[in-house]
């Protein structure tokens, strides 16, 4: 089993990376440091995680001339947030992430969601009633601006996050630089078999975020199932054997190490079928609002999860 996947750009993307969502200040620098020490060479970041400066501090200690690693040995992903979809804002947003991460280029830059929010500095712009302020910027126009980042050498490749199959095809139909990745929620309760098959058919790699079910997501309820009753390494191995890249988040040194130790065993066909039987299209990560438990952004015209996949 290879420890990397080959993207359509011929880049080699490690199949296990460190996720940094929900890693707080004071924790994420040590987590990245530990991951580098253990052998991680793939780091998944985003402006919306509001911790890229601290990630950058750890990377700077390890990566660069005269350091333990050369820049080309590390694969770093970041993401364009929803408030930066206006084509005028895309390059500045990318440059901000580069500055925070201490890098001259990104290996991969993703559109975090197909949904555009109102422009501005506020991460979650809201109306007086608490609902999100959306923008009518279309994700196709945002993509065109992202393509310019490739042309200028700011990013090696661009991709998608939280896009359904129809939206992925929409981008492919008009793209000069094709999306190399679709970064989606994927775990045994949401196996994404149809989306994975579709993405493979159009040459798009799937990265699984929250591959262990994200038990510490802020809106988790007490009565929802926990995938961590199944050993994390088994779940990660299941993803890898399906050709899916994984970015498990952890700030615990022992788990960071454990999550990388998944290349010395394999799952049988029976094991794989058993895990696949858990699937019931349970989506943990789409933000919900109370009192009625509904997807927060469901009324937006580009909300991706109304489609089956």
pLDDT at 16: 95
Confidence of residue 135 (pLDDT cuts 50, 70, 90): very high
- 293's CB contacts (< 8 A; 6+ apart) are none
Residue 283 within any structural domain of the chain: no
183 in Cβ contact with 177 (< 8 Å): no
Question: Structurally, how many domains does the chain consist of?
Answer: 1
In this structure, the chain runs to a length of 309
pLDDT at 292 over 70: no
For CA atoms 117, 80, 239, 163, give the dihedral sign.
positive
Helical (H) or strand (E) element with 54: helix 52-62
pLDDT digits (tens, 9 = 90+) for 154-187: 999 999 999 999 999 999 999 999 999 999 999 9
With a CB cutoff of 8 Å and minimum separation 6, the contacts of 55 are 20, 28, 29, 32, 43, 45, 100, 101
Above pLDDT 70, what percent of the chain? 90
User: Does residue 177 form part of some domain?
Assistant: yes
What is the sign of the dihedral through the CA atoms of 88, 206, 38 and 249?
positive
Is 299 within a domain?
no
Give residue-wise pLDDT tens across range 192-238. Answer: 999 999 999 999 999 999 888 645 545 455 555 545 454 788 989 99
**For residue 96, what are the domain limits?**
4-277
Looking at residue 290, its pLDDT comes to 57
Peptide bond preceding 100 in cis form (omega within 30 of 0): no
pLDDT of residue 85: 98
CATH code for the domain in which residue 206 is found: 3.20.20.100
Structural domain includes residue 110: yes
Mean pLDDT across 56-80: 97
pLDDT above 80: residue 284: no
112 labelled ligand-binding: yes
Could you report the per-residue pLDDT of 72-111, keeping only the tens digit for each? 999 999 999 999 999 999 999 999 999 999 999 999 999 9
**How far, CA to CA in Å, does 249 sit from each of 135, 172, 215?**
30, 30, 11
Catalytic residue list = 49
| Arithmetic mean of pLDDT, 136-143 | 98
């Amino acid at each position: 089993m290879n420890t990397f996947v080959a993207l359509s750009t011929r880049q080699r993307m490690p199949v296990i990376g460190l996720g940094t969502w929900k890693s707080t200040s004071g924790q994420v620098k040590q987590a990245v440091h530990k991951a580098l020490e253990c052998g991680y060479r793939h780091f998944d970041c985003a402006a919306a995680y509001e911790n890229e400066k601290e990630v950058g501090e750890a990377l700077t200690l390890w990566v660069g001339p005269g350091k333990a690693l050369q820049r080309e040995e590390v694969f770093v992903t970041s993401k364009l947030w929803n408030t930066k979809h206006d084509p005028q804002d895309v390059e500045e947003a990318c440059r901000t992430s580069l500055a925070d991460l201490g890098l001259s280029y990104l290996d991969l830059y993703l559109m975090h969601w197909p949904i555009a929010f109102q422009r501005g500095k506020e991460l979650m712009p809201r109306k007086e009633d608490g609902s999100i302020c959306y923008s009518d910027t279309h994700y196709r126009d945002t993509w065109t601006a992202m393509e310019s980042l490739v042309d200028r050498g700011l990013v090696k490749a661009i991709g998608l996050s939280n896009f359904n199959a129809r939206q992925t095809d929409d981008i492919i139909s008009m793209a000069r630089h094709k999306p190399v990745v679709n970064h989606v929620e994927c775990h045994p309760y949401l196996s994404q078999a149809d989306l994975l098959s579709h993405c493979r058919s159009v040459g798009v790699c799937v990265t699984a975020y929250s591959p262990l079910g994200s038990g510490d997501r802020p809106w988790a309820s007490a009565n929802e199932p926990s995938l961590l009753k199944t050993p994390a390494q088994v779940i990660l191995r299941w993803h890898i054997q399906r050709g899916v890249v994984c970015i498990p988040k952890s700030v615990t040194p022992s788990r960071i190490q454990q999550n990388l130790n998944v290349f010395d065993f394999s799952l049988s066909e029976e094991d794989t079928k058993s895990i696949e039987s858990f699937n019931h299209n349970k989506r943990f990560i789409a933000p919900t609002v109370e009192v009625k438990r509904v997807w927060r952004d469901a009324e937006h015209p580009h909300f991706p999860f109304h489609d089956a996949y």
